[in-house]
Amino acid sequence: MMTADEFKQWCDKYGLSKDQAAIVLGISRANAFKYANGSQPVSVLVSNQCELFDLLSKTKSLTVIQKRLAIVSQ
């Protein structure tokens, strides 16, 4: 299971704010902030999603992230 520090590191690794991480992971903005500050444990589903992003190449991960962020901004 992912810790709050690991979640923050994951966001930093991909240059994501907590708001952007929420969009990319399909979670509420509130949950992203709760995961980051440790007031709520990171869900298994979110932890698994982060791990799957890490299994992709950095280029592929960034491409998927950019696509997810673009969908919301339209």
Domain ranges of the chain: 4-73
pLDDT at residue number 1: 86
DSSP letters spanning 5-66:
HHHHHHHHHTT--HHHHHHHHT--HHHHHHHHHTSSPPPHHHHHHHHHHHHS-HHHHHHHHH
Is residue 43 predicted with pLDDT exceeding 80?
yes
Separation of alpha carbons 50 and 53, rounded Å: 5
Is residue 69 predicted with pLDDT exceeding 80?
yes
Architecture, CATH, for domain 4-73: Orthogonal Bundle (1.10)
Model confidence, pTM: 0.92
Average pLDDT over residues 64-71: 94
